[in-house]
Structure 1
Amino acid sequence: MTVQNIDKQVYQDKVKAQLDKFNAQIEELKAKASQAKADTAIEYNNKLEEIYSKRDAAQAKLEELQKAGEEAWEEVQNGFEKAWKELNTAFEGAVAKFK
């Protein structure tokens, strides 16, 4: 196994763990939304929809990353990093709004 293959696998494992953690945090927000009053619940649900969309985009980029050949790996990694940043920004915005 080449160093790049090892680096790619380590990176993929790290990203998968981050997505798993993020999914748990989304479930916490979802639980709060279900307990919120009607008007606040609508806001929660709107934010959750945005987060789900960005999470799905990050998941798709992770799948691309896993399938990427050696020559395309860095380009796909950059795409994933962008999707991950957008996901974090949306999530942090939702958490701040509902604290």
Structure 2
Amino acid sequence: MSLKEAKDAYIGKLKLQLDEWSADLDAMEARARQADAGFKESFNAKAEELRYQKTLAQGRINALHEAADDAWEELRNGSENIWSTVRQTFADAKAKFDNK
């Protein structure tokens, strides 16, 4: 697999994950609209954090996409920590919300 193919495959995987998180957030927001006021307030604060994390993830995808094919792996390594944080934030929110 060439560097360009590896880069494109990696970015594709990240985009799919970001799309999944977007759908999860949309579903959680729809359910929160029907919840009691206390839960809505708590969820809205968490939703703001999720939107921020999504923005960070999208920024990383953009940076990876714009990186030269021979330099993108360095960016990928740095992106793994950010992506891990975003993944954990969404997993925690989803688990907490699913338990309500």
State the partner residue of 1:17. 16
**Structure 1: gaps (5+ residues):** none
State the partner residue of 1:27. 26
Paired residues in the alignment total 98
Task: Return the TM-score normalized by structure 1.
Answer: 0.90
State the partner residue of 1:6. 5
Moved >3 Å (runs of 4+):
none
State the partner residue of 1:47. 46
Alignment of 1:13-92 (within 5 A): 13-92=12-91
Structure 1 window deviating more from structure 2 (69-78 vs 31-40): it is 69-78
**1:51 and 1:90 in contact (8 A); partners too:** yes
**Structure 2: gaps (5+ residues):** none
Deviations 1:57-94 (A, max 9, x none): 01000000000013421121123222221111111111
Amino acid at match of 2:82: A
Amino acid at match of 2:27: E
Alignment RMSD, CA only? 1.4
CA distance in 1, matches of 2:57, 2:79: 6
